[in-house]
Structure 1
Amino acid sequence: MITIGLLYGLIAIGKLDMTLNNVAKDSRLEVVQMSVFVSSDDNANELRDIEGASVGYLESDNAADQVMSVIDGTVATEVQYKAYNNILFMADALLNGTERAIIMNSAYVDIISDQDGYEDFSDRIRELYTYSAEIQVEVRGDVTDVDSTEEKYFLSSDEDTFVIYISGIDMWGAVNARSRSDVNILAIVNMKTGHIQLVNTPRDYYVYLPNQGANDKLTHAGLYGVESSEAAIENLYGINIDYYVRMNFSGFEAIIDTLGGIDVYSEYDFTVDPIKHYTVGYNHVSGLEALAFARERHAFAAGDVQRGINQMEVIKAVINKMTSPSILAKYGEILDEVADCVMTDIPSNVIYDLVKYKLSNDVTWTIDSYTVTGTGKHTTTYSMPGTTCYVMIPNDQDVENAKSLIESVLDEE
Structure 2
Amino acid sequence: MENEQKKKRYYRRTIDLMFLFVLLIVYIYAFYKAFNFSMLPDKYVFMALMVAAVIYLILFVLALQRYPTWFVVIKRIFIVLLCALLGTVGFFLRKVESTTEKIATVNSTAQTKLFILTRSDSNIDSIEDLQGAVIGYQNGSDVASATYMKNLIENEVSGTQAYDYLDYTSLYSFLTNGQIDALAISEQYYGMTKATQEGFDEKVKTIHTFEKEAEQVENKIDVTEDVFTVYISGIDDAGSPDQMARTDVNLLMIVNPKNNHVDMVSLPRDGYIPNPALNGFNDKLTHTSLHGIQNSITSIEDFVGIPIDYYARISFTSVAQIVDAVGGIDIDVELSVCSYDESQNRTHDELESHEGQEVVCAQQGENQHLNGAQALVYARHRKTEGYGTEGRERAQRRVIMGVINKLLSLNALTYINNLLEVAPNFIITNMPSDQITSFINHQLSDFKPWTIHSLISDSGINDRQQVASLSTENGPYDVYLFSQEEIHEIMNAYDGAKKLMQLKDFSFDLDNLYENTPAISDDPNLVWSSMSGVVY
Smaller-chain TM-score bracket: 0.5 to 0.7
What is the CA–CA distance in structure 2 between the aligned matches of 1:198 and 1:299, rounded to whole Å?
27
Q: Determine if the alignment matches structure 1 residue 395 to structure 2 residue 483.
A: yes
**Counterpart-to-counterpart distance in 1, 2:287 and 2:240:** 18
Q: Which amino acid aligns with 2:422?
A: E
Q: Identify the residue that residue 331 of structure 2 maps to in structure 1.
A: 264
Please give the residue correspondences for 1:14-413 in structure 2 after superposition, counting only pairs within 5 Å: 14-15=93-94, 16-25=96-105, 157=221, 159=223, 160=225, 161-213=227-279, 214-266=281-333, 268-273=334-339, 274-299=359-384, 301=386, 303-373=388-458, 374-387=460-473, 388=475, 389-412=477-500
Report how many residues are paired. Answer: 294
Secondary structure at the residue paired with 2:415?
A: helix
Identical residues among aligned pairs (%): 30
Q: Secondary structure at the match of 1:325?
A: coil
Distance 1:311 1:182 in 2: 9
Q: CA deviation at 1:198?
A: 0.8
1:335 offset after TM fit, Å? 0.9
Which entry has the higher C-alpha Rg, 1 or 2? 2
Give the conservation status (yes or no) of the 8 Å contact 1:372–1:402: no
Alpha-carbon spacing, 1:410–1:211, altered in 2? closer, same or farther (3 Å): farther
Q: Secondary structure at the match of 2:411?
A: helix
Residues in 2 aligned to 1:26 and 1:178: alpha-carbon distance in whole angstroms: 20
Quote the residue 1:143 is aligned against: none
For structure 1, which runs of at least 5 residues remain unmatched after alignment?
A: 1-7, 28-61, 64-104, 108-127, 137-155
* Matches of 1:224 and 1:398, distance apart in 2: 26
Paired residues of 2:337 and 2:381 also in contact (CA < 8 A): no
Q: TM-score of the superposition, structure 2-length normalised?
A: 0.50
Higher deviation after alignment, 398-407 or 178-187 = 398-407
What is the root-mean-square deviation in Å for CA atoms of aligned residues?
A: 3.4
Distance in 1, Cα, partners of 2:431 & 2:315: 18
Structure number having the greater strand percentage: 1
CA drift of 1:241 comes to 0.3
In the other structure, the counterpart of 1:57 is none
Q: Deviations over 1:336-381 (max 9, x none)?
A: 2111111110001111110111011122111111211332233222
Contact 1:181–1:222 (Cα < 8 Å) also in 2: yes
Q: CA deviation at 1:10?
A: 6.2
Q: 1:26 to 1:296 in 2, by over 3 A?
A: farther
* CA pair 363-412 structure 1, distance change in 2 beyond 3 A: farther
Higher helix share: 2
Structure 2: distance between partners of 1:133 and 1:218? 31
Residue identity opposite 2:99 in structure 1: T
| Counterpart contact for 2:382–2:392, Cα < 8 Å | yes
Query: Larger relative CO (CA 8 A, sep 6+): 1 or 2?
Result: 1
Query: 1:176 Cα deviation (Å)?
Result: 1.3
Secondary structure of 2:416's match? helix
Question: Hey, what's the Cα distance between the residues in 2 that align with 1:390 and 1:277?
Answer: 28
Q: Which amino acid aligns with 2:255?
A: V
Question: C-alpha distance in 1, partners of 2:269/2:299?
Answer: 12
Distance in 1 (CA, whole Å) between partners of 2:183 and 2:467 is: 24
The code of the aligned residue for 1:19 comes to: T
CA deviations over 1:307-334 (Å, ceiling 9, x no partner): 3333222222112212333331332231
- TM-score w.r.t. the length of structure 1 is 0.63
Query: Equivalent residue of 1:351, what SS?
Result: helix
Aligned counterparts of 1:330 and 1:290: Cα–Cα separation in 2 = 18
1:281 deviates by: 0.6
